[in-house]
A = this chain, B = another copy of it.
Amino acid sequence: MTQLPGLLDIEAIRKDFPLLDRVVHDGKKIVYLDNAATSQKPRQVLDALNEYYERHNANVHRGVHVLAEEATALYEGSRDKVAAFINAPSRDEVIFTKNASESLNLVANMLGWADEPYRVDHETEIAITEMEHHSNIVPWQLLSQRTGAKLKWFGLTDDGRLDLSNIEEVITEKTKIVSFTLVSNIMGTVNPVDAIVRRAQEVGALVLIDASQAAPHMPLDVQALGADFVAFTGHKMCGPTGIGVLWGRQELLEDLPPFLGGGEMIETVSMHSSTYAPAPHKFEAGTPPIAQAVGLGAAVDYLTSIGMDKIAAHEHAITEYAVGRLLEVPDLRIIGPTTAEDRGAAISFTLGDIHPHDVGQVLDEQGIAVRVGHHCARPVCLRYGIPATTRASFYLYSSPAEVDALIDGLEHVRNFFG
């Protein structure tokens, strides 16, 4: 087996993930390289879910009975864990949502309904980038349509990086919010946070960072980032589906208006008017994803026990190896950075004229799960003049042997359509 410096003890880790033993297509063990779409779940997380439902399940916050107290302690305990995981100054800055998309929409809607100085309206501008996930594009298009605000964006360089050369035109005195991804889900690019945050602060714009592809893979420190909001999603970081996070600076969460109305988010309600609970509850209407928050808490414990820096190092080694081997494949073109520097573990590529759908299908037949298409980042495909890509993406349990399997699989694809 290929040994690379910095690898985790993959064999031990893989034992935690029941799905990785899955056998598909008449006896082929799954090679799961679709981690940018969603991660697999360790037994520790599934145990936490079962334990919650079998022993503690109750609705939170409003009960004096023992189950309600336990459920509340578990749910709020997960908030503490997430706050520690991202180094949030206060647990009250951690809002649970259903996914990163809701987190991003939540900010867009807060700003649309806000009073000055936050209000986005027809005299103001919004800045994003051309490499955003659709979930960080469409909310801003909707906000722009509904308020008249102008939507601007950073373009991309030929090697898959943000083109910041016109930063002073993209982020101006009129800009109210700059929203961008920390790591591209399609190209793996890690973006230069500092330069963007500095410019945003210069003009007094708020900064929202989409950390959906960062939180699972590297240490995340919201204070060091210097952003005002950070969004990410549970299912990509060993957690359950149905849970996302929005972190926001306390004073902003106090000032900004609520989004969804309902139970749990109120202080007092009469038919004539209502007042709202303090953050984070103000932004958590209805019964929250209780079990999912508990599961995310267990995921955070799991990742922390391994160490986010070690996970980052592991993925860096795998990515470096994968990039090197992919570049040896004839007719293969990587869309995005072609070295492992400042890049995450998602690698997109085209293979000659063979359509990614066909690439993915033939890989699947060999038990290799990759994603094909525009990966919810169609503007990137448009930018590089391609209809779609094939994307292999790695995680803490990915092994060099799986990279080798991918390379062999691509050889097979080329033969099949050759």
Contact = CB atoms under 8 A, between A and B. Distances in A.
A176 interface: no
Contacts of A68: 34, 37, 369, 371
A338 interface: no
B142 A105 contact: no
Interface stretch (A159-167, A289-297, A320-328): A289-297
A410 to B, nearest CB: 15
A261 B138 contact: yes
Contacts of A133: 262-263
A380 to B, nearest CB: 10
Listed from nearest, the 9 A-B pairs whose CB atoms lie closest are: A101-B286, A138-B261, A135-B262, A242-B289, A242-B242, A101-B262, A65-B369, A263-B376, A37-B59
A364 interface: yes
Contacts of A63: 34, 37, 360, 369, 371-372
A62 B382 CA distance: 18
Q: Which of A271, A274, A357 is most buried by chain B, counting CB atoms within 10 A of its CB?
A: A271
Nearest to A53: B41
A370 interface: yes
**Number of identical monomers bound together in the oligomeric complex:** 2
A356 B364 CA distance: 59
Interface string A102-117: 1011001000010000
Nearest to A153: B271
B289 A135 contact: no
Interface of A: 18-19, 22, 24-25, 30, 32, 34, 37-38, 40-41, 46, 49-50, 53-55, 57-59, 62-68, 98-102, 104-105, 108, 113, 130, 133-139, 141-142, 146, 151, 153, 233, 235, 240-244, 258, 260-266, 268-271, 273-274, 285-292, 357, 360-361, 363-364, 368-373, 375-376, 378-379, 382
Nearest to A100: B286
Contact of A59 (B22, B34, B368, B382): B34
B135 A286 contact: yes
A373 B286 CA distance: 16
Given A67-B369, A134-B262, 5 more contacts: A25-B66, A62-B375, A64-B360, A137-B269, A137-B274
Contact of A58 (B37, B153, B263, B268): B37
B261 A139 contact: yes
A262 B105 contact: yes
Contacts of A64: 357, 360-361, 364, 372
B287 A99 contact: yes
Nearest to A151: B271
B382 A270 contact: yes
A378 B269 contact: yes
Contact of A65 (B34, B113, B274): B34
A363 B49 CA distance: 28
A146 B147 CA distance: 13
A38 B59 contact: yes
Given A34-B63, A53-B41, A242-B291, A138 B101 contact: no
Contacts of A153: 271
Q: Which of A64, A241, A291, A375 is most buried by chain B, counting CB atoms within 10 A of its CB?
A: A241
Nearest to A25: B66
Contacts of A65: 34, 360, 363-364, 368-371
Contact of A62 (B37, B54, B57): B37
B142 A258 contact: yes
B241 A287 contact: yes
